[in-house]
Amino acid sequence: MIAAAAALAVGLASCASFKHLTQVSDTFPPAKDCGKCHVEIYDEWSTSDHAHAYTNPQFHEATDDYAFGDCLSCHAPEPRLTAARPAVRTSGREEGVTCVSCHLEEGVLSGPLKPTGKVHPHPIGVRPEVYYDSGICGRCHEGTMAQWNAAPSEKSGCQQCHMEPARRKVTQATGGVSNLLVAMEKEIPVRRHGFRIPPDSQSLGYLVLSVGRSDTDVAITVENRCPHDLPTGDFGFRAVVLEVFARDERGGASPVGRWELTRELGTAIESHGSRTWTLPVPEDAVLTRAVLTRRSYGQDSILLAEIRLEGRTP
């Protein structure tokens, strides 16, 4: 019965043409076509910074209406996987860093995993040595890649931190023949395509935020265990902000300290480095709270770490 179903699926799939998914001429395979089968990956990508790399207003303004050509290649890379920095593509730039920028190789759509389905609608390449290596990200994130290379040898790759783990089928059913094809696949460990900064990085071990006290002061220490600077990034505004608040017995909270870590000011913390700030707190403070957030260009702040110290200073 399974063999008959597989044979039927093969026959039905062969009736449809998937050649356009691996062909590039004046145009290239758009992400929405990949998303017809890779539904969850497409949904994750479509809300990521990669999808909006070219169209986001800050990039548009920073490049003076895209006048600075050297910036474009990593925000609208050519539709093929390259070993070094890609060239800029001539069409469909609004898709930013799209599927084929990383997964199309000489007519083959490649990735890190062996397919588990019985039918392969398009040629598939299995390249874990490429897709689990930080070098694929370093083609564009050159400054961060240099920091990563200089970091101590025991370190995570980009994908381990910025592509959340999941367990699912690589493709999802969307009706008709696809229901049958997907039914023959297996759920396997995969990585999500949101390319996010991990929230609450302290609990994941990437950062350590600690607080100590002396007779009159409180000392706040940030330890960067990431394999790159904190914050990192070659261009644009990125800041990690440390804020300290004190709360009195009546529940009133007041800010008592604030510092910004930025590359431009030379205050970023190197990989496996740390920095300590010491400050007095009000005598009536019954709780001291330190919050570390990442901020960039009007985006919502991302909470990286938080710590509380109860009680008055001795």
Residue percentage of the chain with pLDDT more than 70? 92
Domain range annotation of the chain: 2-191, 201-310
pLDDT beyond 80 at 31: yes
Q: How many CB atoms lie within 10 A of CB 80?
A: 18
pLDDT confidence of residue 17: 57
pLDDT confidence of residue 239: 95
Asked if 247 and 167 count as a contact pair (C-beta separation under 8 A), the reply is no
Q: How confident is the model at residue 271 (pLDDT cuts 50, 70, 90)?
A: very high
pLDDT confidence of residue 312: 57
pLDDT confidence of residue 99: 96
Looking at residues 76-91, what average pLDDT do you find? 94
Q: How confident is the model at residue 65 (pLDDT cuts 50, 70, 90)?
A: very high
Q: What CATH code is assigned to 201-310?
A: 2.60.40.10
140 compared with 11, residue with greater pLDDT: 140
Q: How far is CA 126 from CA 11, 167, 169, 182, in A?
A: 24, 19, 16, 19
Q: How many CB atoms lie within 10 A of CB 145?
A: 19
pLDDT confidence of residue 1: 47
pLDDT confidence of residue 311: 67
Looking at residues 172-193, what average pLDDT do you find? 83
Encode pLDDT of 277-310 as tens digits.
999 888 778 888 899 999 988 678 999 999 988 8
pLDDT beyond 70 at 142: yes
Encode pLDDT of 186-235 as tens digits.
999 999 999 998 877 777 889 999 988 777 788 999 999 999 999 999 88
With 0-12 / 13-18 / 19 or more C-beta atoms within 10 angstroms meaning exposed / middle / buried, residue 306 is: middle
Q: Which of 19-28, 221-230, 266-275 has the lowest mean pLDDT?
A: 19-28
Looking at residues 49-53, what average pLDDT do you find? 96
Model pTM? 0.86
Q: How confident is the model at residue 177 (pLDDT cuts 50, 70, 90)?
A: low
Q: In the 3-class helix/strand/coil scheme, how is the chain assigned residue by residue?
A: CHHHHHHHHHHHHHHCCCHHHHCCCCCCCCHHHHCCCCHHHHHHHHCCCCCCCCCCHHHHHHCCCCCCHHHCCCCCECCCCCCCCCCECCCCHHHCCCHHHHHEECCEEEECCCCCCCCCCCCEEECHHHHCCCHHHHCCCHHHHHHHHHCCCCCCCHHHHHCCEEEECCCCCCCCHHHHHHHCCCCEEEECCCCCCCCCHHHHCCEEEEEEECCCEEEEEEEECCCCCECCCCCCCCEEEEEEEEEECCCCEEEEEEEEECCCCCCCECCCCEEEEEEECCCCEEEEEEEEEEECCCCCCEEEEEEEEECCCC
pLDDT confidence of residue 23: 79
Q: How confident is the model at residue 15 (pLDDT cuts 50, 70, 90)?
A: very low
Of 309, 297, 307, the C-alpha closest to 49 is: 297
d(CA 267, CA 228): 14
Of 213, 216, 219, the C-alpha closest to 277 is: 219
Looking at residues 80-98, what average pLDDT do you find? 94
d(CA 65, CA 255): 40
